[in-house]
Amino acid sequence: MRTEAGRVARVLLVLVLGLAAAAGVGVLLYTGVGPFPDPEGCTAQVGEVTVELDTDQAENAATIAAIGVRRGLPARAVSIALATAYQESKIRNLDHGDRDSVGIFQQRPSQGWGTSRQIQDPVYATNQFYDELEKIDGFETMRITEAAQRVQRSGFPEAYEDHAADGRALASALTGWSPAAFSCVVREDDARRQREGASGLTPRAAKVRQDVERVFGDLSLGGFAAGGVSTGHMKGSAHYDGRAIDIFFRPVSDQSKRRGWAVAQYLVAHADRLKVDHVIFDAKIWSAGPRSSQGWRDYDPGDRPGNRATLLHRDHVHVDVVEGG
């Protein structure tokens, strides 16, 4: 009986240790501690405020900011929109809510915000929010919660203020006022290799072009051409494979840099969805894969001849998509 009891005890001990080990592995995978890579997600660090978002939240937040930049709105408007989205949906594009509310801002078709399908388009919903915000005289100087309440007419008018600090930090990073302050950890993609299409871009690169123009409007683009490009870039450049786009912001100025950083950090926020591999701007580089946990790093083009501002990407954002295998 003692032998049998001992065997049972040993089996139970092994099972307990196994479960504990499995739980430990789960924690390591989630937190990024130990030998495992950091978990996917995004972080904005502005002053003493740190905002952490998952990939879906980051994409929606960056879209809200991008639409504000396109419309020429002050960062304050973006802060208000982001604080509102935090309170209403945790910055998630929900297909449900109180009564008929849906989308990032929980707008209601029955209240004239549009159809349910329209409201669940983040670009449409964000434009609708800004349309109403711009009708409010003096929204720029109001408390965030007061401006948000004037748009939303919530039953909890002070709730938006709980998210004011995070909204301001995200807005500062995503509208370019805080350069290199927003970054994401994104896994490497094992997508299939693609060939250039009629535009000279691969389908993935063409999707990036379409996406940034949809949210930011007309942009000065280059680095590709029908039939492809064969000169003008460093050896081995993704431009020669139709995988890269340059987005120009000239002349180099504070305003150009802010807009450039807004586009650069938007691309990082959407890197997982758009299969972005690298983003370079203003002497900084972000890379998907293992190095994404390092955030924005210094970019050094070496001693190559040419215009230094261009070599350091101070006058343009470079974005390339995964090569595939």
Which tens digit of pLDDT belongs to each residue from 116-168? 999 999 999 999 999 999 999 999 999 999 999 999 988 788 899 999 999 99
Per-residue model confidence (pLDDT) at position 61: 98
Per-residue model confidence (pLDDT) at position 37: 55
Which tens digit of pLDDT belongs to each residue from 286-305? 999 999 999 999 999 988 88
Q: What integer is the mean pLDDT of 17-42?
A: 50
Per-residue model confidence (pLDDT) at position 105: 97
Does position 325 have pLDDT exceeding 80, yes or no? no
| Per-residue H/E/C for the chain | CHHHHHHHHHHHHHHHHHHHHHHHHHHHHHHCCCCCCCCCEEEEEECCEEEEECHHHHHHHHHHHHHHHHCCCCHHHHHHHHHHHHHHHCCCCCCCCCCCCECCCCECHHHCCCCHHHHCCHHHHHHHHHHHHCCCCCHHHCCHHHHHHHHHCCCCCCHHHHHHHHHHHHHHHHCCCCCCCEEEECCCCCCCCCCCCCCCCCHHHHHHHHHHHHHHCCCEEECCCCCCCCCCCCCCCHHHHCCEEEEECCCCCHHHHHHHHHHHHHHHHCHHHHCEEEEEECCEEEECHHHHHHCCEECCCCCCCCCHHHHCCCCEEEEEECCCC
Per-residue model confidence (pLDDT) at position 19: 44
Does position 35 have pLDDT exceeding 60, yes or no? no
Confidence of residue 4 (pLDDT cuts 50, 70, 90): very low
Does position 23 have pLDDT exceeding 50, yes or no? no
Which tens digit of pLDDT belongs to each residue from 86-115? 999 999 999 998 889 999 999 999 999 999
Does position 311 have pLDDT exceeding 80, yes or no? yes
Per-residue model confidence (pLDDT) at position 21: 43
- The chain-wide mean pLDDT, for the chain, equals 89
Percent of the chain with pLDDT over 70: 88
Which tens digit of pLDDT belongs to each residue from 189-215? 778 899 999 999 999 999 999 999 999
